[in-house]
Amino acid sequence: MKSAVQRKSLEANALPAPARRREALRADEPIFDLIELFFFAYRDFVGDADRMLENYEFGRAHHRVLHFVNRRPGLAIAALLDILKITKQSLNRVLKQLLEAGFVEARAGFSDRRQRLLYTTAKGAGLAQELAHLQSEHFVRVLNELPASARGAATDFLLAMIDAAERERVRVPLSRGGARMTASKAS
């Protein structure tokens, strides 16, 4: 079924191995397959969550906020803006809704009380978890139909696709990450 397409790509890949040193790839001819696959893959990937979010009257923007707040408890507004790369006015609309609906809560920073550190509530964490689970299932389905090396390869590929300057920030400040955000400016 899908093997046709897959086979094609695999063949294309199996080019004269030695010819590929460091000048392996030139951009003389556009890499249309990857361009289009990336578009379709992303669209279908976010589609899953989009459909679930409709039940809560939330959109993709809410999802992103909820996700990152959940992953980085104690995240400050400025840090969130920096991750999302949107303006505070844009953020405020969706954040306000999440706060009012009780999915996220804000506490004043301890060392700097101007800050509003964000945390998911139990309810918010639940939804974030549901969404992450849904998207994880998508990945699991995908990875299970690919060789075992696929996960590492996908991780490496996606990481390399991220602007070099951003890759640092991507490495999630797990657990107590956000709290020390106070010093974010300092570093």
- Min. distance of Cβ 32 from a second copy in angstroms? 7
For DNA, the closer of residues 101 and 154 by Cβ is: 101
3-state per-residue secondary structure call for the chain: CCHHHHHHHHHHHCCCHHHCCCCCCCCCCCCHHHHHHHHHHHHHHHHHHHHHHHCCCCCHHHHHHHHHHHHCCCEEHHHHHHHHCCCHHHHHHHHHHHHHCCCEEEEECCCCCCCEEEEECHHHHHHHHHHHHHHHHHHHHHHHCCCCCHHHHHHHHHHHHCCHHHHHHHCCCCCCCHHHHHHCCCC
CB of 6 to a second copy, least distance (A): 6
Q: Does the footprint of DNA cover residue 185 (CB under 7 A)? A: yes
CB of 184 to DNA, least distance (A): 8
Size of the site for DNA (CB under 7 A): 31
Cα separation, 173 vs 35, whole angstroms? 31
Q: Between 64 and 116, whose beta carbon lies closer to a second copy?
A: 64
Residues in 1-60 at the binding interface with DNA, rule: CB under 7 A:
57-60
Sheet holding 116-120, edge to edge: 75-76, 116-120, 104-108
Q: Is 119 in the site for DNA (CB under 7 A)?
A: no
- Report CA 87 to chain centroid distance, whole Å: 18
Candidates 67, 98, 115, 173; binder of DNA (CB under 7 A) is 115
Which positions from 124 through 183 interact with DNA, judged by CB under 7 A?
none
Q: Which is nearer to DNA, 140 or 183 (CB)?
A: 183
Give residues 68-107 in contact with DNA (rule: CB under 7 A). 76-78, 84-90, 92-96, 106
Nearer Cβ to DNA (44/145): 44
User: CB 160 → DNA: shortest distance, Å?
Assistant: 24
Q: Which residues bind DNA (CB under 7 A)?
A: 57-62, 64, 76-78, 84-90, 92-96, 106, 109, 111-116, 185
